[in-house]
């Protein structure tokens, strides 16, 4: 495993950094001003997207990108450091058409869409013309176990009729959102992991009722984290994505690379926090000393650097495993990074916020917004506890055959396998 950046990746890192510095960072204040005034999408977003595409910084996330499709084809390992750079500004990934949940939806459509679905939905998503949402989580059941979902997908003639309630559906309030990929149950009597299917629902279909845009830690996201009721929503059976009963498998295929993207963006946010922490510690004095001369502050800086480096290496290893052996072979590592990195995200940013004092929880720095998303990320794509459970089960299964239970007269060490 070699995680050093190739000349190709170094070149892309330089170009993305330059684009961020010249076109995105100078517009951060304007982005907030326009959002506060109710202007969304912002007035400059489409121009930035056009410019990014013209510079070859488009659809960087999709390893299966075809020659005739717009963008630059990269592996997960090659894309990871670029996602890290984008993570420094919350809305930056949209400029490069690398924003969730569209990335995961495009991956699903790329793998499973029929030719008709490809033309209707994937093409405009790849072009950045529309946005999309992914509807799985439900308020009435513990959706951390995806087999619990209750939304029904019932075939009636040549249509599917969908009834159910979803919430925290990201992007559903975006004015350009035109597609919802919904996961529900087509056969509640089937085997536990074969009950679910996915269907494609145009957002303007009668019966799709967006109830509210749910605030996250009292933070308003203009693209939305919505509660939606599906009331006798009817779509053609041709809107089935993949095979009936294959929804759980599709969900797992979708979430693997997506967790790489989330985690590397989180590492980017943590890197920004360290930079701000260091700058603040050199500018501010308390009790006659610069902040960095206080032992507790140097401890925060050192621990943050160590933790970021550890986390980045684990995420890069996971990306490499997905590229080399597939998502299934990287299941444990995917769970590990999802349990680790959001916690790192909030821990490092919390230290920076503490160093800034009350300013750290104000809009005068990006820290409060980054902290809020980091905390929410501990739920997104499955809560910490689900991933920790998955890692523990994997470890127990891997090691259960190595040892036998020691008898009262036989020490454990004598039964351990030799390292020779």
- What is the band of 420 on the pLDDT scale with cuts at 50, 70, 90? very low
Residue-wise pLDDT tens digits, 107-119: 999 999 999 999 9
Over residues 271-282, mean pLDDT: 97
Q: Which two tokens stand for residue 40?
A: 């969304």
User: Are residue 198 and residue 281 in the same domain, yes or no?
Assistant: no
Mean pLDDT rounded to a whole number for the chain = 93
In a domain, 110, yes or no: no
- Residue 410 belongs to some domain of the structure: no
381 confidence band (pLDDT: 50, 70, 90): confident
Residue 258, domain member (yes or no): yes
Query: pLDDT digit string (tens) for 309-364?
Result: 999 999 999 999 999 999 989 999 999 999 999 999 999 999 999 999 999 999 99
Which domain covers residue 20, as residue numbers? 7-99
When pLDDT is averaged across residues 155-174 and rounded to a whole number, the result is 97
Distance CA 186, CA 197 (A): 6
User: Is residue 165 located within the same domain as residue 73?
Assistant: no
According to DSSP, the β-strands at 196-202 and 240-241 are: antiparallel
Choose between 420 and 366: higher pLDDT: 366
Share of the chain above pLDDT 90, in %: 86
Say yes or no: 346 and 234 in one domain. Answer: no
Kindly state whether residues 239 and 253 are assigned to the same domain.
no
88 and 191 co-located in one domain: no
Residues 326, 251: contact at Cβ < 8 Å?
no
Task: With H, G, I as helix, E, B as strand and everything else as coil, classify residue 209.
Answer: strand
Q: Are 226 and 174 in contact (CB under 8 A)?
A: no
pLDDT on residue 411? 52
84 and 157, same structural domain? no
- Strand pairing category for 159-170 and 177-185: unpaired
Per-residue pLDDT at 285: 87
| 265 & 315 share domain | yes
CA distances from 80 to 7, 75, 100, 311 (A): 15, 9, 14, 12
Average pLDDT score over residue span 382-396: 94
- Give the pLDDT of residue 143: 83
* pLDDT over 80 (residue 417): no
As for how many domains the chain has, the answer is 3
Nearest Cα neighbor of 64 from 74, 50, 77 is 74
Does the residue 111 lie in any domain? Answer: no
Condensed to tens digits (0 to 9), the pLDDT of residues 90-100 reads 999 999 999 99
Residues 257 and 384 in one domain: yes
Asked whether the beta carbons of 60 and 13 are under 8 A apart, the reply is no
pLDDT tens, position by position, 118-132:
999 999 999 999 999
CA angle 273, 277, 280 (to 5 degrees): 135
Q: Residue 129 in contact with residue 97, Cβ under 8 Å?
A: no
Both 253 and 240 in one domain: the answer is: no
pLDDT digits (tens, 9 = 90+) for 174-213: 999 999 999 999 999 999 999 999 999 999 999 999 999 9
């Amino acid at each position: 495993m070699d995680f050093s950046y190739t000349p190709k990746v170094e070149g892309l890192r330089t170009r993305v950094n330059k684009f961020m510095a010249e076109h995105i960072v100078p517009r951060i204040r304007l982005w907030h001003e326009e959002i506060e005034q109710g202007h969304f999408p912002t007035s400059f977003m489409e121009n930035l997207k056009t410019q990014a595409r013209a510079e070859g910084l488009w659809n960087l996330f999709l390893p299966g990108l075809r020659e005739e499709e717009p963008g630059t084809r990269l592996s997960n390992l090659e894309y990871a450091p670029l996602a890290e750079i984008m993570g420094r500004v919350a809305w930056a990934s949209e400029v490069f058409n690398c924003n969730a949940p569209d990335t995961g939806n495009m991956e699903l459509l790329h793998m499973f869409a029929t030719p008709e679905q490809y033309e209707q939905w994937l093409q405009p998503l790849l072009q950045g013309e529309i946005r999309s949402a992914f509807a799985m989580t439900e308020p009435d059941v513990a959706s951390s176990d995806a087999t619990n979902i209750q939304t029904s997908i019932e075939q009636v003639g040549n249509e599917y009729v969908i009834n159910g309630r979803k919430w925290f559906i990201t992007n559903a309030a975006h004015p350009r959102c035109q597609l919802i990929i919904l996961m529900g149950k087509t056969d509640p009597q089937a085997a536990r992991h074969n009950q679910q299917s996915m269907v494609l629902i145009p957002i303007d279909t009668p019966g799709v009722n967006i109830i509210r845009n749910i605030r996250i830690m009292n933070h308003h996201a203009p693209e939305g984290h919505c509660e939606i009721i599906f009331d006798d929503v009817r779509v053609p059976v041709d809107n089935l994505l993949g095979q009936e009963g294959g929804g759980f498998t599709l969900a797992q295929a979708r979430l693997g690379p997506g967790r790489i993207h989330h985690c590397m963006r989180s590492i980017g946010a943590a890197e920004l926090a360290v930079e701000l922490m260091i700058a603040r510690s050199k500018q501010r004095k308390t009790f006659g000393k610069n902040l960095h001369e206080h032992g507790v502050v140097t401890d925060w800086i050192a621990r943050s650097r160590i933790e970021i480096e550890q986390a980045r290496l684990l995420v890069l290893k996971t990306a490499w495993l997905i590229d080399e052996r597939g998502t299934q072979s990287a299941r444990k590592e995917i769970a590990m990074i999802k349990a680790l990195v959001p916690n790192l995200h909030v821990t490092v940013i919390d230290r920076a916020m503490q160093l800034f004092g009350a300013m750290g929880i104000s809009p005068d720095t990006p820290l409060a917004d980054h902290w809020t998303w980091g905390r929410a990320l501990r739920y997104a794509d499955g809560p910490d506890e689900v991933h920790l459970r998955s890692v523990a089960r994997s470890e127990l299964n891997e090691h259960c055959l190595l040892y036998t239970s020691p008898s009262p007269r036989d020490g454990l060490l004598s039964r351990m396998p030799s390292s020779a």
